[in-house]
Structure 1
Amino acid sequence: MKPLHVKRLSMSLSCLLAISMLAACSDGGSGSKTAAPAPAADPKAAPKAAEPEKPLTVKIFAGLYNDAPDMNNAYWTEWQKRTNSKLEMEWVPSGDIDTKMDLVLASGDLPEILSSPNANRPSLINAAKNGAFWDLGPFLGDFKEYPNLKNNLAKDALKYLSVDGKVYALPRSRSRVDLGLKIRKDWLDKLNIPVPTTLDEYAAALKKITDADLDGNGKKDTLGIIGQGVVVDDGTTLFAAGFGALNPTYNEEGGMIETRLTPQWDDMIAYFRQMYSDGGLPKEFSVMKRTQNEELFRTGKAASYTNSIWWDDEWEKENRKTQPDAKILNLLLKGPKGDYALELQTGVSGGYYISKKVPEARVKQLLKYLEQTASQEMTDFAYYGIEGVHYKVVDGQKTLTEQGVKEVNVTSKGAGVLAYSKWGKVISASGSKAFNDAKIKEVEKFDELGLVDPFRGIISPTWLNTWPKYESEWKTMEAKAIVGQISMDEFKAYTAKLRALPEMKKAFKEFSDAYKTFTGK
């Protein structure tokens, strides 16, 4: 018997011999010893499909302005499909977002992306200066890889999000024309009150409305101008504009006085003090909440409210369930010296900040996602959703369906940059073409006549460190002045004392220098 290794060797030699013979036969009798060529590829064969890119997980801390959304609904499912993302949202009720954000910033336990509706918060700016967020400038470069961010943002958008010349955020794009001082036009008509054209006429109209029984319940319980926190929150600066507080104001040293400490702001507080005394400003104004106020206005319990103009159609329809003639009008009012009570936005409603804890490679991935959300396609989707599901086209106008009203709202715009849209906060996605055309005509002069708060986009290091020490006390003094617990002379003396503090004067000088740099004047 042959050994096993000899048998294996014999088998191997046999195999090699067979292979050689086959190769020799393959030359077609030409005598060539070259191997036959491989069969040609079929030109009609489809190329092998590339493996689909795995969805990018994106974690965002953002404001909640409606009911908490179902992230598996039709809108959010499509958003994630179009952006190839998997969103992990931490929704924070809008009334709590500043407090929650301050806690997050203080803890240092930052989310990957922090969405702030206000880029001017001292805690946020200090966090950026202390290295909490990535400087996005080097990533963006010449914007060659980010055409949407280059072409689709509002003018100076990134300047409003810069700190010490570094870009720390991408914008939450919103239109400059946003807030409207709303009043129930049908109530004015019912009481034969002409549409107010001045702040004084407006206050007089509210007094008449609150003295009447417009809902017919036998009580004089209709509220006047509603808001939340100190005075009327979002609308406070709009009123201040009517008293000239948005005009750059300088002290004797050439320092630019911060808006809330100007003498014009004091004049506005005196105005609200009289309105409070007359009943136009509710007794509970300082403790009212946003959700409560929206409910009061849309159900016919209040005469006036300041909020985005695009709500008008939805809130009119809500009011008409009990008051069929309900009509909302946004007022254009002049103050005592001819200034308009109009506040324009910058086109930037806060921004998206990327935590410095995020690895550099992942920052590029997140920027790719945010770049895509700044496209016109994603912006149209953010405002209207899916055709046939969230909207239908009527007379050339996209109009939200019942499902669209539920799923496409303020909150649904909180996961992306979006492109700038001039009338984005005016046009109602649930309104008809006729309604929206009329609404644009109603406010078409706002962009021309309104002012942006000059302190948007400029920073004073001294202010950031000083104002938090006095802000709470200042709010208390404002409320006391309005309700009559202290006199206006006492309140004005208090604000004059603040303006005279050495650290405040230093801050005002820094503001003045920053404003010159920002405007180039």
Structure 2
Amino acid sequence: MNKNKRFTLFLAGGLLITTVLAGCAGNPSSNSNQAGNTNNADHKATDNNKRFEIEVLTDSGGIQLPEGENDRLKMLLDKQLNTDLKLNLFTDYAQVNLRYAGANYPDMVWVNRVSMQEFARKGLLLDLTPYLDKLAPATQFIGEENLNKGMVDGKVYGISKRASIPFFNIWVRKDWLDHLGLPVPTTLEQFFEVAKAFTEDDPDGNNVNDTYGYTGGELGAFDPIYSAFGVGSIGTFYQRDGRLINSMYDPNMPAAIAFITSMINAGVVDPDLLANSGTSAEQRAFQGRVGMIWHGFPRMTHPDRVNEYKAVHPDAEWIQIPALKGPGGEFAGTWDVGTSPGMHAISKSVEKDPEKLQRVFDMLNYMATPEGASLVAHGEEGRHWNREDGKIVRTELRSKEHAFVYQLLGRDEMEYLQSGYPAEAIKFSADTPRIETYNGLLDIPEAFNPADAERYMLEEMAKFLYGKRALGEYSDFLSTLSGTFNYQLMLDSAEKSLKELDIIK
């Protein structure tokens, strides 16, 4: 493997565990003006009299597009590029797989590392390597490091968004803490005590036993507990004392499982946690059913979300808590150094129409110009935002007419976040220590089926955590994972790849 080219595996919590956050992408360190010297006229289609329909099948991120004339970004992009841009939002990746299985290909598609590798090797995605000169503004905008994240077998298939920053922390109802006279928890033990009090001591004062201590999205909700034991999220690779470790084989994992099981057995965990997909956990928290949640600040502090929970509970006050201290240190989940907040690929079928393909390139290149990047990030100046004292200030109209899903290349992250979210919440999350993981730098071995291995890991971890399988059988679980599901291939491949990248010795 060429050490100058980093191959990325877009895995959150191991393989394909994704979390819904509205509007999460970008990289504050990237030079947002790098593509600024390119004349906008260069990004318009060569034949502007011909209108092209361009379909982008992309992750909904938990939102819906504005309807009709309220979809201002579509209207303005269509006018600029002479297109009929259709963003088709999915909520389940099975919708993408179904489209490709039925040869019903969108022009562009949201991909993760696993699906990109699969589709590329089946010849379903366009190899962008010969076209990189035509995508120069777009590739300059995202940066070479991010471009390399879209490589499979030495060829570029994916166009990654700019890198992001961590968003997640445990959030707690401070008004509930105050009501019960409890401090903000900073250790595992205090966390358990608060969760127990929120479940048993009527924190909302309604004299009804209707609250729980902790929730989050499916098994990913337990990430900040694993990390307090020094253990990464399910299926992640990281270092300890100079050695590469996979979380499933981490000797501290059984202790982390036992702690979580004790919380579940105590009845302090949201009983619907395993079914909490999309914004389900958020809704339970906002409705006053749960007092702590593993969630991201873009959702917890967005004015619309704050208004939503204040409408139900006017005194509700949600605050971030520090990384929990535990036997393995002080970490809040993981942060993958090679991951991408989003990536899109162009279907191979588009190549049959060179003019349409050029229009797709024009669209991406326009989004890399100062004008286009500002439009998809913030909307129209004077309508959706104004600049006050050097800062972008959003208008009320923006929430009705702007959708972040048009940010196909990402955005200037810090400028974007500071225009819509509290600076203290951004800094708190960015400064929180995380376990640094490397899944995003790895390729998947040819004979390894990540979907089967992921499914087995998630199913068995749920059994261990919820007491449906004895923890004494954990070594048997690992033997099956390594053998029957060929996970040893992934372990060996990761070791080899990270040595080639000089990350481990």
Q: For each residue in 1:464-505, what CA deviation from the matched residue of structure 2 results, as whole angstroms up to 9, or x when unmatched?
A: 32x433433332222222222222222453134423569332
- Bigger relative contact order (CA 8 A; separation at least 6): 2
Residue type of the partner of 1:216? G
Matches within 5 A, 1:429-448: 429=420, 431=421, 436-446=422-432
Q: Which consecutive unaligned segments of at least 5 residues does structure 1 have?
A: 1-49
TM-superposition CA deviations, 1:285-323 (whole Å, max 9, x none) = 222332322222233332222333222323333222243
Match of 1:274 in 2: 262
Which of 58, 63, 70 is the matching residue for 1:62? 58
Q: Deviations over 1:94-143 (max 9, x none)?
A: xx2x2222323333432111113xx233x4422222222112122114x7
TM-score (norm 2): 0.78
d(CA) in 2 for partners of 1:324, 1:502: 50
Report SS of the residue matched to 1:271: helix
**Inter-partner Cα distance in structure 2 for 1:265 and 1:344:** 18
Partner of 2:53: helix, strand, or coil? strand
Which of 108, 114, 117 is the aligned partner of 2:109?
114
**Alpha-carbon offset, residue 269 of structure 1:** 2.9
**Equivalent of 2:79 in 69, 72, 81:** 81
**Counterpart in 1 of 2:193?**
204
1:99 counterpart (94, 97, 114): 94
How many residues get paired? 447
Contact in 2 for aligned 1:60/1:111 (Cα 8 Å): yes
Secondary structure, aligned partner of 1:290: coil
For structure 2, the residue ranges without an aligned partner over 5 or more in a row are 1-45
- CA displacement at 1:351 relative to structure 2: 0.8
Checking the alignment, whether the CA contact within 8 Å between 1:55 and 1:85 is kept in structure 2 is yes
Report what 1:29 is aligned to: none
Aligned with 2:359 (options 358, 362, 365):
365
The one-letter amino acid of 2:146's match is A
Quote the Cα distance in structure 1 between the aligned partners of 2:428 and 2:251: 32
Question: 2:458 is paired with a residue of what secondary structure?
Answer: helix
Give the alignment of 1:408-447 within 5 angstroms.
Answer: 408-409=402-403, 412-414=404-406, 416-422=408-414, 424=416, 426-427=417-418, 429=420, 431=421, 436-446=422-432
Among candidates 269, 288, 310, match of residue 320 of structure 1:
310
Q: Does the CA-based 8 Å contact 1:249-1:262 persist in structure 2?
A: no
How far apart are residue 167 of structure 1 and its match?
A: 1.6
Kindly provide the amino acid, as one letter, of the partner of residue 66 in structure 2: P
Shift of 1:396: 5.0
Amino acid at match of 1:61: L
Provide the residue aligned with 2:321 in structure 1. 331
Give the one of 166, 190, 194 matched to 1:177.
166
TM-score (norm 1): 0.76
Query: What per-residue deviation string (whole Å, max 9, x for no partner) do you get for residues 252-288 of structure 1?
Result: xx99554445444444333321221223321222223
1: distance between equivalents of 2:154 and 2:476?
Answer: 37
Matched residue, 2:37: none
Aligned match of 1:389 in 374, 383, 394? Answer: 383
| Residue matched to 1:16 | none
Identity within the alignment, %: 22
Q: Aligned to 2:342, what secondary structure does the other structure show?
A: strand
Query: What residue in structure 2 maps to residue 219 of structure 1?
Result: 208
Which deviates more, 280-289 or 235-244? 235-244
| Higher radius of gyration, 1 or 2 | 1
User: 2:24 maps to what in 1?
Assistant: none
Deviates more, 1:508-517 or 1:263-272: 263-272
Q: CA separation of 1:383/1:419 partners in 2, compared to 1, >3 Å: closer, same or farther?
A: closer
Report if the CA contact (8 A) 1:175-1:420 is conserved: no
**In structure 2, what is the Cα distance between the partners aligned to 1:212 and 1:84?**
61
Q: Aligned pair in 2 of structure 1 residues 242, 167: CA closer, same or farther (>3 Å)?
A: farther
Pairwise CA RMSD of aligned residues?
Answer: 3.2
1:307 paired with 2:295, answer: yes
Letter in 2 for 1:457: L
Question: Given residue 434 of structure 2, which amino acid in structure 1 is its aligned partner?
Answer: G
Task: Name the aligned partner's letter for residue 365 of structure 1.
Answer: R
